[in-house]
Amino acid sequence: MKLRNKAVLGALALALAFILDDFANRAIRLIHYAPLDSFFHWISVSLFTVFMLMLLTSLALYEGKKKDWIVPMWLSAAFAAMLVQVLKLIFMRERPDGFVMTMLWIRDFSFPSAHAAICFALVPILDREFPRLSVFWISFASLVALSRLYMGVHYLSDIVAGAAIGYLIGMAVIYLVRWKHGKARV
């Protein structure tokens, strides 16, 4: 699919997500179930798990003679995290039900989802280097994003925007690495 078509599709998905924000949050509240609550709580606070998976993936990349992708993988996650924090301060969208977390002097807002951005920033690189695990990477990133909606700390549009931002960052990092090595297509 061409980049322009992907951009249009992404914009339409985000617009639809904004329209469905309240409906999605109300609907998700109706399906809370104790085992799902525990599962999604664990997934929702899983940035430590993401960090551990990144460490294991770094080892796999190193052992697989693909160590040139270790730093780009970490940079894509770090850049996604930083960009999202800047965007949160620009948009200052309160979390569902007016919930705004305060940690020391930092006010943490809802839009876009950092969890979704970080996880989806890894998908293009990991998919490129471990294509057989593509379904795992996309499923894990999607579960992390969905957990944020399920736990009531994000709107649907927050996670769609976070996922799109992260994925674009991952693709940009791949492009930059390939450009550095003279293999990029314009």
Q: pTM for the full model?
A: 0.83
Q: Flag whether pLDDT at 44 surpasses 50.
A: yes
**101 DSSP β-pair partners:** 108
Average pLDDT over residues 38-52: 75
Domain ranges for the chain: 3-180
> What percentage of the chain has pLDDT greater than the value 70?
90
Query: pLDDT of 94-138, one tens digit each?
Result: 888 754 444 333 457 889 999 999 999 999 988 888 888 888 889
- Say yes or no to pLDDT of 10 above 50: yes
Residues 147-167, mean pLDDT to the nearest whole number: 91
Q: Say whether domain 3-180 belongs to CATH 1.20.144.10.
A: yes
Per-residue pLDDT, averaged over 147-168, amounts to: 91
- Residues of 32-57 as b/e, b for ≥16 C-beta within 10 angstroms? eeeeeeeebeebbebeeebeebbeeb
Question: With contact defined as beta carbons under 8 Å apart, do 70 and 184 qualify?
Answer: no
